[in-house]
Amino acid sequence: MKSILAIYPGSFDPVTNGHLDLIERGANIFDRLVVAVLQNLEKDPLFPLPERVEMLKEVTHPWRNVEVDIFNGLLVDYARQRKAQVILRGIRAISDYEYELQLALMNRKLEPTIETVFMMPSEAYSFLSSRLVKEVVRLGGPVDGMVPPLVEKRLRAKVK
Ligand code: PNS
């Protein structure tokens, strides 16, 4: 039987409950799911790579078929190297669609054999993004229910 490996790529600066919702959905559908953290972010990340990876490893521990890894350069090169058949991306709202479509079609042009699969996180997280969570914490607002408790703790420590 064919086993499907999917890559779920992103910045994860930091991981949110929206990401976790998608990881759970992906882990239920695919045989193996690799959460791949982009190393060289163009934007300055709040959390350095080791911290982003450490938090992800801790919160994805319950899923036995989920692995956390890092990647550099082109996503399709990494996916090819991992022999992945699928790239998983989340779409929260129509506003995500245009960018995601562009990304998926560029990736298809670069590597036609790898399929991008879009999944929707629960509508409870449709407003959620790492960027907004960081802003709320920076301005002293509450983020409970938006990120795992360990991420909230680290966020608060960062902005102190
Ligand atoms: O969490 P993000 O920031 O939305 O993730 C974007 C990511 C990491 C998936 C995207 O920027 C990416 O794949 N970067 C790697 C370089 C690459 O392959 N770019 C796509 C060619 S169009």
- pLDDT (tens digit per residue) in 20-49: 999 999 999 999 999 999 998 777 899 999
Tell me the per-residue pLDDT of 113-143, one tens digit each, with 9 for 90 and over. Answer: 999 999 999 999 999 999 999 999 999 999 9
Tell me the per-residue pLDDT of 52-97, one tens digit each, with 9 for 90 and over. Answer: 999 999 999 999 999 999 999 999 999 999 999 999 999 999 999 9
d(CA 20, CA 90): 11
Mark whether 43 is an active-site residue. Answer: yes
Mark whether 130 is an active-site residue. Answer: yes
50: confidence class by pLDDT, cuts 50, 70, 90: very high
Mark whether 138 is an active-site residue. Answer: no
Q: Ligand 1, atom 17: nearest CA belongs to which residue?
A: 74
42 CA from centroid of ligand 1 (Å): 10
pLDDT of residue 112: 98
pLDDT of residue 29: 97
The predicted model scores a pTM of 0.97
pLDDT of residue 63: 97
Mark whether 11 is an active-site residue. Answer: no
Give residues (CB < 6 A) around ligand 1.
9-11, 38, 74-75, 103, 106
Strands 5-10 and 86-90, sheet pairing: parallel
The minimum-distance atom of ligand 1 relative to the CA of 13 is 1
The minimum-distance atom of ligand 1 relative to the CA of 73 is 16
